């Protein structure tokens, strides 16, 4: 039969055509099986939440055993794929601020970003953000729409318009970098908004 195929060109091409058809048919069958297998396997790539907490708080403690900050919220929802926890009505208290009085920061919404190789732990807050400190000298209040808080550094940053009120002053700016443990505020300006401070003269 092999000699016949070698001598007969038409039969040889027909045999090659049949073999190629069988080969590609097997490939198609194998692909179909793989697709069916993928459909039946769980979709691990979907970022479904794996943890819920309501009316809860998370305390951070330093090596000396002192609480440095408290993160609380009406509801925590953790997403393992991105290691992000969404927060409803979040509140952050910065307690270890040296000689300064503690700061309390709140908003309507936020999210907690876990530590990774590419980022440090941060609490991102938005919608009606308020940061407040009450001391013997009066109340200092920071108002903005977005704020990133880094509890381990007592640091907060905002690229949104901010207003800071003290007993005698009102400062508005395009953004701010706040070092709460040093009572230091570095204001930002842009083409639309400059840093403006108004002083109230007391009689």
What is the widest separation between alpha-carbon atoms in the chain?
118
Q: 17 and 84 share a domain?
A: no
* Positive or negative: CA dihedral 9, 14, 19, 23: positive
pLDDT (0 to 100) of residue 169: 94
Domain total in the chain = 2
pLDDT (0 to 100) of residue 10: 53
pLDDT (0 to 100) of residue 39: 44
Q: 59 and 156 share a domain?
A: yes
pLDDT (0 to 100) of residue 202: 72
- Determine the Cα–Cα distance for residues 130 and 150; give it in Å rounded to an integer: 15
Q: What is the pTM of this model?
A: 0.74
14 falls within a domain = yes
Q: 142 and 174 share a domain?
A: yes
Question: Coil, strand or helix: which one is 152?
Answer: helix
| Residue that is written with structure tokens 């704020």 in the block | 147
Q: 99 and 147 share a domain?
A: yes
Domain that holds residue 102: 51-199
Question: Coil, strand or helix: which one is 118?
Answer: coil
* Positive or negative: CA dihedral 62, 64, 70, 75: positive
pLDDT (0 to 100) of residue 4: 46
pLDDT (0 to 100) of residue 19: 53
> Domain with 125 in it: what CATH number?
2.60.450.10
Which residues of the chain register pLDDT less than 70? 1-45, 203
Q: 111 and 23 share a domain?
A: no
pLDDT (0 to 100) of residue 21: 57
Q: What share of the chain is helix, strand, coil (3-state, %, to 5)?
A: 20, 45, 35
């Amino acid at each position: 039969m092999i000699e016949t195929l070698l001598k007969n060109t038409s039969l040889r091409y027909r045999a090659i055509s049949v073999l190629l058809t069988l080969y590609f048919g097997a490939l198609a069958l194998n692909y179909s099986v793989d697709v069916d297998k993928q459909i039946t396997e769980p979709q691990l790539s979907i970022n479904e939440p794996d943890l819920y907490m309501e009316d809860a708080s998370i305390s951070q403690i330093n090596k000396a055993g002192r609480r440095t900050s408290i993160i609380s919220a009406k509801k925590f929802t953790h997403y393992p794929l991105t290691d992000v926890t969404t927060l409803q009505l979040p509140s952050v208290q910065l307690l270890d601020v040296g000689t300064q009085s503690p700061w309390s920061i709140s908003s309507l919404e936020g999210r907690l970003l876990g530590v990774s190789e590419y980022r440090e732990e941060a609490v991102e807050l938005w919608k009606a953000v308020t940061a407040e400190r009450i001391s013997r000298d009066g109340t200092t209040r920071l108002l903005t729409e977005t704020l990133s808080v880094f509890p381990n550094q007592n640091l907060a940053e905002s690229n949104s318009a901010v207003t800071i009120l003290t007993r005698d002053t009102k400062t508005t700016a395009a953004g701010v970098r706040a070092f709460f443990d040093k009572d230091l505020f570095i204001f930002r300006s842009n083409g639309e908004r400059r840093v403006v401070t108004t002083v109230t003269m007391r009689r």
